[in-house]
A and B are shown apart, each in its own frame.
Chain A
Amino acid sequence: DAKTTQPPSMDCAEGRAANLPCNHSTISGNEYVYWYRQIHSQGPQYIIHGLKNNETNEMASLIITEDRKSSTLILPHATLRDTAVYYCIVRVYAGNMLTFGGGTRLMVKP
């Protein structure tokens, strides 16, 4: 699975959009981009995934660049409960294991 690069930490004001970047320059044509988050003392939680089109669900939006070498997870109106570590993972669709990197620690501040 391709490696990803994420900033180690980010801050965001409550109520504002949180934009979390991820670089995956070695992504293969059959690999999807997945996002998970881990709130303190909990297991990781699936957020969203996509191949090349932008995706949106009730939790977030995923914007993938045309060359697929990077993506951005957008939380449109961040709340204090969105404070967590966010992991960007690339892998083949429905592969088995997830390979987690260091993730981005997002701190949402009042």
Chain B
Amino acid sequence: GAGVSQSPRYKVAKRGQDVALRCDPISGHVSLFWYQQALGQGPEFLTYFQNEAQLDKSGLPSDRFFAERPEGSVSTLKIQRTQQEDSAVYLCASSPQEGTDYGYTFGSGTRLTVV
């Protein structure tokens, strides 16, 4: 596709429920990033993949958060036993290869609301 696609666009989860958020990066993009954006704040880094390898997961807030990119294209961010503090917009970004700057493209995000 022409851009980074994220689904679902909106997700409402009951506290304790598991959720899975999907990111379809631009075809051929090697690098993929997940960010979390709380209301009124700037995005915060969660994790980074280069192809299928997860090279940095230092931003994941707890072991309830898990991300994967098994074939080096589509990525899924999974949150287990959701809590109210997990409510945020989850943004995915991709870039053509490590080491380029013009190509950082973000999706529109998934807005997660935990009730």
Contact = CB atoms under 8 A, between A and B. Distances in A.
Given A49-B101, A94-B98, A94-B100, A43 B42 contact: no
A87 B42 contact: yes
A102 to B, nearest CB: 6
Interface in A32-79: 32, 34, 41-46, 49
Contact of A43 (B41, B48, B91, B100): B91
Contacts of B108: 41-43
B109 interface: yes
Contacts of B56: 96-97
Chief secondary structure at chain A's binding surface: loop
Given A34-B101, A43-B4, A96 B106 contact: no
A43 B102 contact: no
B75 interface: no
Interface in B38-62: 41-45, 48, 55-56, 59
A101 interface: yes
A41 to B, nearest CB: 7
B41 A102 contact: yes
Nearest to A85: B42
A100 B104 contact: no
B106 A102 contact: no
Interface string B80-93: 00000000000101
Contacts of B33: 96-98
Interface string B1-19: 0001000000000000000
